[in-house]
């Protein structure tokens, strides 16, 4: 049969991640970073980012890894359009890593802000305590709270043969009564606020909430100033934030494994 010969010829295509690294390569747009070098560079002009993810910063050189007054970028608002990298390659660059999830909202800001290690350790310890019983089998309930559909394609890819989340004990369920982790996409539009909250309240304890995608984190391009949806964190308490527009399947998988304590939490985006 053709599929048998093809399988023998191609071998195992399922990723070995997270046991082994599975990088996308140097050209993969995992996230935008602020270059640590470039002292004396011209200031970043207003209007460079369509979502307002870039702002002037006054982070000390030693902490931020950049000059005093250098720009600060919020990955939770970044839609990965690449405009900043194209217009100011001396300041911004793409990070090829897919491991971009964070346990706190300030953890998505680069260069890292002055978030104390003690506070981060408290967050890690509390989440680890809550999910201690979930590490062998995790059931995920996905709710679309006003997405444009791009995140859904990436989430659906996790069920295919390349990522195969079932091998890690991760399963998607149709009922919140059976769910351990609530995976939310979309900006948290008004029409979905009630259903999203109802889903969260129907889940048994312990429960974890993961905001997937820039829209879910901050409203993304949908948000205009102080109007419009500001992300699902205004509706339900979020434990893990996965930036990207959309994030890759590896980024979503990293967030799930981080949420249930199967991967160590990083200090923040590099």
Predicted confidence at residue 23, as pLDDT, reads 66
Q: Has residue 165 got a pLDDT over 60? A: yes
Q: Mean pLDDT for the chain? A: 82
- Of 117-126, 212-221, 235-244, 245-254, the one with minimum mean pLDDT is 117-126
Q: Has residue 133 got a pLDDT over 70? A: no
The interaxial angle of helices 150-157 and 249-259, nearest 10 deg, is 70
Ordered by start, the domain boundaries in the chain are 31-98, 117-259
Predicted confidence at residue 59, as pLDDT, reads 43
Q: In the structure, what pLDDT confidence band is assigned to residue 61 with cuts at 50, 70 and 90?
A: very low
Q: How far, rounded to the nearest angstrom, does the alpha carbon of residue 48 sit from its chain's CA centroid?
A: 22
Whether the Cβ atoms of residue 155 and residue 172 lie closer than 8 Å to each other: no
CATH label, 31-98, candidates 3.30.70, 2.60.40, 2.40.30, 3.40.50? 3.30.70
- Of 19-28, 81-90, 150-159, the one with minimum mean pLDDT is 19-28
Q: In the structure, what pLDDT confidence band is assigned to residue 26 with cuts at 50, 70 and 90?
A: low
- Identity of the highest mean pLDDT range in 117-131, 152-166, 223-237: 152-166
- Identity of the highest mean pLDDT range in 16-25, 105-114, 192-201: 192-201
Count the helix, strand and coil residues of the chain and give each as a percent rounded to the nearest 5.
Answer: 35, 15, 50
Predicted confidence at residue 75, as pLDDT, reads 94
Q: In the structure, what pLDDT confidence band is assigned to residue 239 with cuts at 50, 70 and 90?
A: very high
Predicted confidence at residue 233, as pLDDT, reads 93
Spatial separation of the C-alpha atoms in residues 242 and 56, rounded to whole Å: 24
Predicted confidence at residue 22, as pLDDT, reads 77
Predicted confidence at residue 247, as pLDDT, reads 94
- Provide DSSP, 200-215: HHHSPSS-EEEEESHH
Predicted confidence at residue 249, as pLDDT, reads 93
Which architecture does CATH list for 117-259?
A: 3-Layer(aba) Sandwich (3.40)
pTM of the model as a whole: 0.84
Residues 6+ apart with CB under 8 A from 246: 150, 151, 153, 154, 212, 213
């Amino acid at each position: 049969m053709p599929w048998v010969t093809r399988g023998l010829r191609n071998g195992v295509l399922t990723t070995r991640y997270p046991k082994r690294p599975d990088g996308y390569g140097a050209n993969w747009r995992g996230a935008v970073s602020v270059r640590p070098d470039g002292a004396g560079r011209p200031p970043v002009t207003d209007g460079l980012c369509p979502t307002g993810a870039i702002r002037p910063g006054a982070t000390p050189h030693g902490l931020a890894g950049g000059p005093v007054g250098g720009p600060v970028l919020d990955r939770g608002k970044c839609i990965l359009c690449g405009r900043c990298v194209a217009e100011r390659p001396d300041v911004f660059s793409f990070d090829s890593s897919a491991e971009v999830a964070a346990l706190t909202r300030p953890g998505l800001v680069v260069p890292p802000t002055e978030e104390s290690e003690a506070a981060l350790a408290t967050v890690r310890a509390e989440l680890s305590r809550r999910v201690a019983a979930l590490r062998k089998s995790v059931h995920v309930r996905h709710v679309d709270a006003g997405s444009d559909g791009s995140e859904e394609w990436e989430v659906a890819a996790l069920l295919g043969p390349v990522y195969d989340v079932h091998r890690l004990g991760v399963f998607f369920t149709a009922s919140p009564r059976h769910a351990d982790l609530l995976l939310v996409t979309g900006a948290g539009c008004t029409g979905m606020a009630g259903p999203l909250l109802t889903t969260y309240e129907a889940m048994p304890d312990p429960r974890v909430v993961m905001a997937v995608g820039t829209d879910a984190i901050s409203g993304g391009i949908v948000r205009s100033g102080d109007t419009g949806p500001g992300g699902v964190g205004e509706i339900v308490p979020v434990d893990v934030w996965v930036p990207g527009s959309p994030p890759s399947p590896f980024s979503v998988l990293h967030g799930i494994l981080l949420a249930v304590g199967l991967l160590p939490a990083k200090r923040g985006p590099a």
